[in-house]
Amino acid sequence: MMSGREFDIIEQYFAGRVRSTGPGVLLGPGDDCALFDVPAGQSLCVSTDTFVAGIHFQDQAPGHVAASRAMGASLSDLAAMGASTFGFFLALTLPQESDTWLESFSSTIVSLADHYGVPLAGGNLSRGSLSMTLTVLGLVPAGRGLRRSGARVGDNIYISGSVGDAAGALSLMNRSLAVPDRLRVRYETPVPRLALGEALLPIASAAIDVSDGLAADVSHLCTASKKGARIDSARLPISDDLREAISADELLRCALAGGDDYELCFTAAPDQDAAIRAVSARLGLPITAIGTILVQPGLVLEGADAFDLDRPGYEHF
């Protein structure tokens, strides 16, 4: 479905500016479908997510923040499968035309598509409340992919980077307090851990990205694996930036219940620990062991008695 105005906006802000070709892309935007050749020996990964103004980004967020958060979160789903990027689709719904917002949004989509080497293969523009749905395509070696369901009893639980920074930034923003730049970027421009995901393919037994909060996401992984977990709160990687900006009693809530960090949480057998340290060193990305997979279903949070496990994560709905 393509109308005159829709066509003009796509021409002005996206066509000719955004990468729309790539290996395997036979036909990009502008036809009824895009066409791909999936390379032999590869399986296709697909994820779709909607980002709604006022829910997934702030109502008054500039276009570049909406674009960065949507792209970061969507590509993070590929990272959590250990996939490389193959293509993406953008369905954008706009209440009215704002050149400033569209220029900021589209130029960020263009630069991120380039940075991550992922062609924009198609899309859609509609009139309505501000939201966008991204569908991302990735590749993994045939039949592989880091699933949530592979955790085994005795596996270590690891987390990349630090947790709670994005939630800390959002908490400060919501109270109209000053937000340190290094926290702000963690919320506004999340970095999908694509290189880490690919490196973990032969190492990790299960993986998930931290989008709803670490406790909630570990619980999702445990449910899919039909296992339980113990997390040692004292081992959570909490950044100095967060410790300086957030009160002590809110720190644990940010780290355990705060979404939006898009770090990878994964499990691996203890004998993989050296391989994981090597990946961490190669990528220059801290990776911290924070707990263990248990037989008994449920999540045990050591050192976090005050934390309400019944509402462990951010609810998008």
Whichever of 162 and 211 has its CB closer to its own copies, that residue is 211
Among 114, 126, 202, 270, binds its own copies (CB under 8 A): 126
Is 5 near its own copies (CB under 8 A)?
yes
56: left (phi over 0), alpha (psi -120 to 50) or beta: alpha
Interacting residues with its own copies between 288 and 317 (CB under 8 A): 311, 313-317
User: Which of the ranges 42-50, 111-119, 182-190, 266-274 carries the binding residues for its own copies, by CB under 8 A?
Assistant: 42-50
Angle 103-107-113 (CA atoms, 0-180°, nearest 5)? 150
- Minimal distance in Å, beta carbon 275 to its own copies? 22
CB of 158 to its own copies, least distance (A): 16
Considering only residues 61, 67, 112, 137, which one is a binding residue for its own copies as defined by CB under 8 A?
137
Dihedral through CA 278, CA 280, CA 281, CA 285, nearest 10?
170
- Member of 16, 37, 248, 249 binding its own copies (CB under 8 A): 37
Instruction: Give one word for 98, left, alpha or beta, with left for phi > 0 and alpha for psi -120 to 50.
Output: beta
Of the candidate residues 36, 57, 187, 266, the single one contacting its own copies (CB under 8 A): 36
| Contact status: 40 vs its own copies (CB under 8 A) | yes
Per rule CB under 8 A, is residue 186 in the interface with its own copies? no
Pick out residues in 71-90 that bind its own copies (CB under 8 A). 73, 77-78, 80-81, 83, 87, 89-90
- Choice between 305 and 317, CB closer to its own copies: 317
Name residues contacting its own copies, limited to 148-167 (CB under 8 A): 148-149
66 binds its own copies (CB under 8 A): no
Binding its own copies by CB under 8 A: which of 16, 32, 175, 240? 32
Contact 211, 315 (CB under 8 A): no
Indicate the residue among 27 and 173 with the shorter CB distance to its own copies. Answer: 27
Contact pick of 16, 31, 59, 177 for its own copies (by CB under 8 A): 31
Q: How far apart are CA 207 and CA 150, in angstroms?
A: 8
| Interaction residues for its own copies, span 196-255 (CB under 8 A) | 207-209, 211-212, 216, 220, 224
Q: Tell me: does residue 16 bind its own copies (CB under 8 A).
A: no
For tokens 């309505």, the residue is 128
For its own copies, the binding residue among 44, 173, 185, 289 (CB under 8 A) is: 44
- In whole angstroms, what separates CA 69 from the centre of its chain? 8
Q: Which of residues 85-114 bind its own copies (CB under 8 A)?
A: 87, 89-91, 93-94
Q: Rule CB under 8 A: which of 248-287 touch its own copies?
A: 259
Q: Which residue of 143, 174, 177, 271 would you call a contact of its own copies, by CB under 8 A?
A: 143
Q: 12, 22, 43, 62: which one contacts its own copies (CB under 8 A)? A: 43
Among 9, 196, 6, 18, which Cα is nearest to 114's? 18
**Residue 181: exposure state from Cβ atoms within 10 A (0-12, 13-18, ≥19):** exposed
Asked if residues 102 and 9 have their Cβ atoms less than 8 Å apart, the reply is: yes
CB crowding 69-101: b at 16 or more within 10 Å, else e:
bbbbbbbbbbbbbbbbbbbbbbbbbbeeeeeeb
Q: Please state, in angstroms and rounded to a whole number, the distance separating the CA atoms of residues 146 and 205.
A: 7
Determine if 50 is a binding residue for its own copies (CB under 8 A). Answer: yes
Over the range 119-138, which residues count as b (16 or more CB within 10 Å of their CB) and which as e? bbbbbbbeeeebbbbbbbbb
What six digits make up the tokens of 245?
């900006």
